Structure 1
Amino acid sequence: MELPSYTKQQLALRNGQDKPQIWVAYKGIIYDVTESRLWKNGKHYEHWAGQDLTDELADAPHTEVVFEKLTKVGTLG
């Protein structure tokens, strides 16, 4: 199944404040973190949902393996 494409503006609305969904992007894929207790209110440590976190992963204490557990909802177009 091909994933739908979303713009950065559409992703930005899924920030934990404007819409009920909480999404983040990594390497062109958008992931749903709505159910994650680590993303409560769209915030995860110093990071905010609704953004492309590709460049920020280097600062994280974990690797990209964390994304394997998340549901893919689309691509960042």
Structure 2
Amino acid sequence: METDLPEYTIAQLALRNGQDKPQIWVAVDGVIYDVSESRLWRNGQHYEHWAGQDLTSELKDAPHSKSVFIRFKKVGKIR
């Protein structure tokens, strides 16, 4: 449940971009997902999208829905 997840600021999320720290995280609808194990997020980039960001507004242009994130671990929520 999202209420049990730790809270992170946008600045803390930004550090989990695959460059500054080894974790590769993205946020969607206020929930932060760990996409570190995904081959599609190698080096913190997925096509023209960068990790360490809230990608909610960018999903409207994606060829998939936010349901793709169910395969990734929820690690936090945006404070």
State the Cα distance separating 1:64 from its structure 2 match. Answer: 1.0
Aligned residue pairs, count: 77
Q: Which runs of 4+ in 1 moved over 3 A?
A: none
1:20 aligns with 2:32: no
Question: C-alpha root-mean-square deviation of aligned residues, in Å?
Answer: 0.8
Fraction of identical pairs, as percent:
71
The structure with the largest helix share of the pair is 2
Q: Please, what TM-score do these two structures have when normalized by structure 1?
A: 0.97
Distance in 2 (CA, whole Å) between partners of 1:64 and 1:12 is 20
Distance in 2 (CA, whole Å) between partners of 1:63 and 1:44 is 15
Unaligned runs of 5+ in 1: none
1:56 aligns with 2:67: no
Q: Please, what TM-score do these two structures have when normalized by structure 2?
A: 0.95
Unaligned runs of 5+ in 2: none
CA offsets per residue over residues 3-52 of structure 1, 9 Å max, x none? 00000000000001000100000000000000000000000000000000
